[in-house]
Structure 1
Amino acid sequence: MDHIVSAEWLNDHLNDENLIILDATIPKVGGKLPAEELQDIRIPGARFFDLKGVFIDKESELPNTMPTPDKFAAGCKTLGIRGDSTVIVYDGHGIYSAPRVWYMFKVMGHENIMVLDGGLPHWVSSGYKTEVKTPEGEVKGDIEVNHQPHMICDSSLINEIRNDESYLILDARSEGRFNGTAPEPRKELRGGHIPGSKSLPFTSILKDGVLLDKRSMMALYDQINPEKKRLVFSCGSGITACVIALGAAIADHPVEMVYDGSWSDWGRPSELPVETLED
């Protein structure tokens, strides 16, 4: 199954009957927004998928916790998403938060979801049309959820499997944050990484703002996971973990789970073990 589409493909299919385009842009950690010239435009017909206001568990003390299945379904129905919809998601940074939505749909049992490779920046640089963002009215959908809770894990499960040789935990944060040599943007967190995990910065699977081609992606994942262990993905708060989960899916490696709380959870002051470059 395809997990991404090109800007050319989307431009050719903009008027497809069952196509739903979602803009999942959020600020990066630290508040960085997309380039100024991209902030007030969208791909024609795109609907805003609100990761921070709607599709999130607001009762959680962690930054980006998955919504409940009922809340997810209710939010999708207001966007006109149906069970037979082909959903294309993008973000204004290129490849950042859109894979989180791709993974969320998978968790909720909707398989027909793909990420626009390169996002809005690549769409614009390719010369395709945009429109000014305007308020969107509700469009009724009928999506049904088939929840796959095993695709998400918490710290207790991570603590169980970190020494299990059949799993490999990959961390999408920068190498400096992984090693504990660069500060965490959330100052209350410890530095370092989950013992036994490996570093795979999400930027390492991108080139010039788009994802590596399939052959290059396979070579990268074959190098870091030669035994094709069951992959578990972590990052700062559950967003870019989904970028490297998307990369693994493209590379035909086993996508097992995303650690939803990621370092925002594990890195809090606690008795959970942490490794750094000095250990």
Structure 2
Amino acid sequence: MSIAGLGRVVMVVPTYDEAENIAWIVGRLRRAQPDVDVLVVDDGSPDGTGDIADGLAAADPRVSVVHRTAKEGLGAAYLHGFDVALRAGYDVIGEMDADGSHQPEQLGALLDALQQADLVIGSRWVPGGSVVNWPWHRQALSRGGNLYVRLLLGMSVRDATAGFRVFRRTTLEKIDLSTVASTGYVFQTDLAARTLRAGLRVREVPIEFVERVRGDSKMSGSVASESLRRVTEWGLRERRRQLTEAVRRRRARTAGSGRSRRARSGAGHP
């Protein structure tokens, strides 16, 4: 079954040690959007998350599971899931966390916005967006990180690090996933930047983000360090590209002006 105007939709849900949450979040998603399929991508969770997901898939044909043998990072899990979904012929491929921070009941707003977009991001930092159960320093870190992304990469997106989003399959095909190397949470920034560089339409819709109440966060110092390092590298590379392009254009204008002056000076001679 498909959603009017969008076609077949699947939400990719990566998991690692989410035994406490996976049945709960998949159940909420299936109730909120009965026409949306679910693809769980489990990174070999030692707590039995994969087995629970297999049970959900056995009971519901709209749920499927991909088992990976190692924990290789959020980006790697999503890339694997996207590849499976694209090969399965889905028209819309979404992503969301398994811990309940992304509320399935708000997915409808993202899908509605996708009617006029190529990527829709559920944003905490646009008017109407909010976070629940985050201390002020965590909010400051997220807001500051997104400001750093906007300044360094020249992006207009307010919440480029957000992980609740839906893509058209044509978007994922156009941004060349085979060249994506980011594995941690910076994966989200990478794909948003690629979508904008491709000239595609990105929209943000406000969501209420809820901090997990069960299980452990996967955010770590190494993940944050990778994000900072990669965004800085991309920003410096983009500034070098812009500078090189500006120099090239200036030289071209100078050369053109020189040819024009020579042409005018020679115009009065037989």
TM-score, scaled to structure 1: 0.28
Would you tell me which structure has more helix in proportion to its own residues? 2
TM-score, scaled to structure 2: 0.29
